[in-house]
Amino acid sequence: MEIATSLQQIPSSYIREILAAASDKNVISLAGGLPDEKTFPIDLMKATLEGLSDMPEVFQYGATAGYGPLLTFLNTYFELPESHMAMVCTGSQQGLDLIARAYVNPGDKVVMEAPSYLGAMQVFGLVQADMVTVPQTEFGPDLTALETCFAEQSPKMFYAVPDFHNPTGVCWSLETRQQVAALCIKYKVALIEDAPYRELRFAGDALPLVSDFCPQNSIVLRSFSKIASPGLRIGVVTGKRSYIEPMVKVKQGADLHSSVPMQALLLGLLEHKDFDQHIDTIRSLYKSRYETLFSELQQKLPEGCELNAVDGGMFVWVTLPECDTFALAKSLLSNGVAVVPSPVFYPKPESADAALRLNFTNATNEELAEAVTRLAAGLREQLSAVTNQEVPVFV
Amino acid sequence: MEIATSLQQIPSSYIREILAAASDKNVISLAGGLPDEKTFPIDLMKATLEGLSDMPEVFQYGATAGYGPLLTFLNTYFELPESHMAMVCTGSQQGLDLIARAYVNPGDKVVMEAPSYLGAMQVFGLVQADMVTVPQTEFGPDLTALETCFAEQSPKMFYAVPDFHNPTGVCWSLETRQQVAALCIKYKVALIEDAPYRELRFAGDALPLVSDFCPQNSIVLRSFSKIASPGLRIGVVTGKRSYIEPMVKVKQGADLHSSVPMQALLLGLLEHKDFDQHIDTIRSLYKSRYETLFSELQQKLPEGCELNAVDGGMFVWVTLPECDTFALAKSLLSNGVAVVPSPVFYPKPESADAALRLNFTNATNEELAEAVTRLAAGLREQLSAVTNQEVPVFV
């Protein structure tokens, strides 16, 4: 049976492959985007887990938009105006998939920053969107390029990760947020604001959502995978009713609804008096790991490599002198450290600048220090090889 | 933001609407396809539920194809050959959606019996398949019509529910199963065998899956919603690896993976020594309800209505003299009984014969008897009105 045309164009996930290789005990993985298993608030979920057997209603079919008591809670939790609604998804990844399926026709233009989140490229690829990229600066998207793009290309939506971007860790400035919102309104472009790392801020003050400045023009994706547990597969999409209702219709066909016991479990967790403190604990842990990774990198990276400080999230982005980053990642893997090379984060991989994404949430401080030692050694070897052999510039 | 073309063609689910209306306490609903909440094997799940808090690994991201220990169990449980694999989905509804997304291009022909499962029509509608129907007899699809269709139209797949079809309750004969498999092989048509009601047999002997006769040409969808709990949203798809792997790729984008705690919970249930006995209990209960519904219908239905006996499943199909079944369903609802009119089960509703789908699994024997009294009274009223007024034939 021949696979659908839309699927033929989707590359298989390089990250999945490298994650599989990275499961070797001798490899320290900075490749994934996994939260630390030890941070999962299982103690705070225990009572609800045990109480589920007294809630027969959660074992029956549920409403497509979500478990009623959770939706009621979320309306308050996210301070949704009367015009807006929340829909529960099987992870925020499904929310993104439903947005693409509800709104994007083949050839429709979807704007994103380059580099961008791999899972978003997969989803928009499946609906055969025309993915248009704008460059990213340290404050967010290049606003001149974004306005030109909006004006000349009339895109349908702008997909963005304004808080601690995956893969670069960039957090948009307040001014950028206001200006992007204004551009979305001016050019009638829907903003798809993906906020999975928003709560993982360990420095500076929280900024408003970009969507706060254009609530009628935006859909927000929320994840509980980084602050609670990814295994549950419960995410939330919010936006004005007329934006969310078509997605509910697609979700009916996609999976009828998400697991109700898992929705009840999440509700119990969000209502737990110690949940905020749990988030503070995660933030402190990740802050310490980030600081270790960053200072080790500063000390050990060879010349020509650059890194930007981040205020939260899960990733550090290291830009490199021009080289074949795939070959580099492969050689680093055999050196005992797994990383992700930059081209996988670009809709057009050949246009990628050489860089690596490093994760700091799923390895201990000791492992991070050792990983950087291996990384620096591998980098020196690879970069000097490039220089000495005067090989042509790799993509 | 304008919705996608593919979604514009999907009617909103009439069943969802009627289910909402049927939640009125004064209405007895025979409209849904819900298992009885009291049958959920919560006692058999309790120990696993309480043990989840000692399994931190189920709270982490999981593999897209499913939770390893569950997949290992399913290989044995379903006696899969080496060439085949199982993939866990967010309900078997997602399995169907992934099949459509992985294989169907707009305009590709998908064959199904008429009437057919509403959720399948939604899914194939979303990928803009050309849905081609063949008539159904009491033994399964009309084989002559099916062969003509396969020969003349070269469809990509044949979607079928051979065990206790939704909505008609028809169970294919052994001969039909063998012949359909032979036709699928001969004409290179993939069989999509949807088996959610297979375990709900309360009379006669189990027959082989149709796929047992064409294992290299088929994908099987399995549900645990009718024998365990629909709230969990865990279903399974099986087939040869080359059929399943493209679906795993789509699932990566769709939701990364299904809830891991729910997969662990299902595994605990399937391994429980009392699970088989639990299924026997459900079968006995539904047998008794079916017998009540059937005998009440036999006694009370006005002339011109016909019903076929079933050996399992959740539904009885009542064919009626020509009438406007939507108007009838609406008037029955105001008489205190909810049913589903036949046109919603046809890709071309205007071609539907007048009939009603009645569910017997979610009402008590007493409620079923009272529901039939109301149904019969409403039917008499409506049918005599049609005759007396000599109105034109309704669709």
pLDDT tens digits, residue range B93-149?
A: 999 999 999 999 999 999 999 999 999 999 999 999 999 999 999 999 999 999 999
Interface membership of A53 toward B (CB under 8 Å): yes
The encoded tokens of residue A141 equal 């998207």
Chain A residues near residue B123 by CB distance under 8 angstroms:
253
Interface membership of A56 toward B (CB under 8 Å): yes
Q: Hey, which bits of chain B come out as E strands?
A: 28-29, 84-89, 109-114, 130-137, 140-141, 157-160, 190-194, 218-223, 235-240, 306-307, 315-319, 337-338, 340-341, 355-359
Confidence band for B24, pLDDT divided at 50, 70 and 90: confident
Residue in the block written with tokens 């009939």: B355
Interface membership of A124 toward B (CB under 8 Å): no
The encoded tokens of residue A293 equal 């990774």
Decide if A306 contacts A379 (C-beta within 8 A).
no
Chain B residues near residue A56 by CB distance under 8 angstroms:
37-38, 40, 42
Interface membership of A47 toward B (CB under 8 Å): no
Confidence band for B6, pLDDT divided at 50, 70 and 90: confident
CB contact under 8 A, B250 and A126: yes
Interface membership of B105 toward A (CB under 8 Å): yes
Measure B11 CA to nearest chain A CA, in Å. 9
CB contact under 8 A, B256 and A91: yes
Q: Of A87, A134, A390, A122, which is closest to residue B254 (Cα–Cα)?
A: A122
Interface membership of A131 toward B (CB under 8 Å): no
Q: pLDDT at position B393, please?
A: 38
Q: Omega into B115 within 30° of 0, i.e. cis?
A: yes
Q: pLDDT at position A394, please?
A: 34
Q: pLDDT at position A15, please?
A: 64
Q: What is this model's ipTM?
A: 0.94
Planar angle of CA B6, B7, B13, nearest 5 degrees: 135
- Give the ranges where chain A is alpha helix by DSSP (H): 5-8, 14-21, 42-51, 68-77, 91-103, 118-126, 143-153, 174-186, 241-255, 260-271, 275-300, 325-334, 365-389
Interface membership of B34 toward A (CB under 8 Å): yes
- Nearest CB partner across the interface for A49, out of B50, B93, B243: B50
pLDDT one-digit tens code per residue, A117-151: 999 999 999 999 999 999 999 999 999 999 999 99
The encoded tokens of residue A380 equal 């020196």
The span from the CA of A176 to the CA of A160, in Å, is: 12
Interface membership of A308 toward B (CB under 8 Å): no
The encoded tokens of residue B71 equal 């997949």
DSSP string, A234-272: -EEEEEEHHHHHHHHHHHHHHHSS--HHHHHHHHHHHH-
Q: pLDDT at position B390, please?
A: 44
- For residue B290, give the amino acid letter: Y
What average pLDDT does this structure show over B348-354? Answer: 91
CB contact under 8 A, A56 and B49: no
Q: pLDDT at position A385, please?
A: 67
The encoded tokens of residue B257 equal 């993976």
Chain A residues near residue B57 by CB distance under 8 angstroms:
37
- Nearest CB partner across the interface for A104, out of B4, B46, B156: B4
Confidence band for B265, pLDDT divided at 50, 70 and 90: very high
CB contact under 8 A, A119 and B256: yes
Interface membership of A204 toward B (CB under 8 Å): no
What average pLDDT does this structure show over B61-80? Answer: 97
Q: What is the DSSP letter of A35?
A: P
Q: pLDDT at position A67, please?
A: 97
Q: Which one of B190-199, B342-351, B382-391 scores highest in mean pLDDT?
A: B190-199
**Domains within chain B, CATH numbers bracketed:** 5-40+276-386 (3.90.1150.10), 45-271 (3.40.640.10)
The encoded tokens of residue B347 equal 């890709």
Give me chain B's average pLDDT, please.
Answer: 93
pLDDT one-digit tens code per residue, B85-94: 999 999 999 9
Q: Of A146, A150, A197, A388, which is closest to residue A311 (Cα–Cα)?
A: A197
Interface membership of B63 toward A (CB under 8 Å): no
Interface membership of B359 toward A (CB under 8 Å): no
pLDDT at B395 over 50: no
Regions of chain A where pLDDT drops below 50? 389-395
A273 Cβ contact partners less than 8 Å away, ≥ 6 residues apart: none
Confidence band for B10, pLDDT divided at 50, 70 and 90: confident
Question: Any idea which of A28-32, B7-11, B200-204, B218-222 has the lowest mean pLDDT?
Answer: B7-11
Chain B residues near residue A34 by CB distance under 8 angstroms:
60-61
Q: pLDDT at position A395, please?
A: 32
Measure A43 CA to nearest chain B CA, in Å. 8
- Nearest CB partner across the interface for B42, out of A5, A46, A53: A53
Chain B residues near residue A43 by CB distance under 8 angstroms:
53
The span from the CA of B108 to the CA of B129, in Å, is: 5
The span from the CA of B183 to the CA of B134, in Å, is: 14
**Per-residue burial over B79-102, b = 16 or more CB atoms within 10 Å of its CB, e = otherwise:** ebeeebbbbbbbbbbbbbbbbbbb
Residue by residue, what is the 3-state secondary structure of A302-358? CCCCEECCCCECCEEEEECCCCCHHHHHHHHHHCCEECEEHHHHCCCHHHCCCEEEE
Q: Chain B 4-33, CB below 8 Å of chain A: which residues?
A: 4-7, 10, 12-13, 16, 32
Which of B45, B101, B237 should be substituted to probe chain A, the one whose Cβ sees the most A Cβ atoms within 10 Å?
Answer: B101
CB contact under 8 A, B255 and A97: yes
Q: pLDDT at position A16, please?
A: 64
pLDDT at B321 over 50: yes
The encoded tokens of residue A111 equal 């704007």
Measure B382 CA to nearest chain A CA, in Å. 32
Closest-CA residue in chain B for A257?
Answer: B233
Q: pLDDT at position A383, please?
A: 77
CB contact under 8 A, B255 and A93: yes
Strand partners, B134: B113
- Nearest CB partner across the interface for A256, out of B49, B93, B102: B93
Measure A102 CA to nearest chain B CA, in Å. 5
Measure A253 CA to nearest chain B CA, in Å. 5
Measure A18 CA to nearest chain B CA, in Å. 13
Q: pLDDT at position B195, please?
A: 98
Interface membership of A336 toward B (CB under 8 Å): no
Chain B residues near residue A256 by CB distance under 8 angstroms:
91, 93, 119, 230, 233
The encoded tokens of residue B341 equal 């009119």
CB contact under 8 A, B253 and A122: yes
Measure B243 CA to nearest chain A CA, in Å. 7
- Within 10 angstroms of residue A43's Cβ, the number of other Cβ atoms is 11
Q: pLDDT at position A21, please?
A: 67
Interface membership of B37 toward A (CB under 8 Å): yes
Confidence band for B75, pLDDT divided at 50, 70 and 90: very high
Q: pLDDT at position A10, please?
A: 77
What average pLDDT does this structure show over B315-331? Answer: 93
What average pLDDT does this structure show over B79-84? Answer: 97
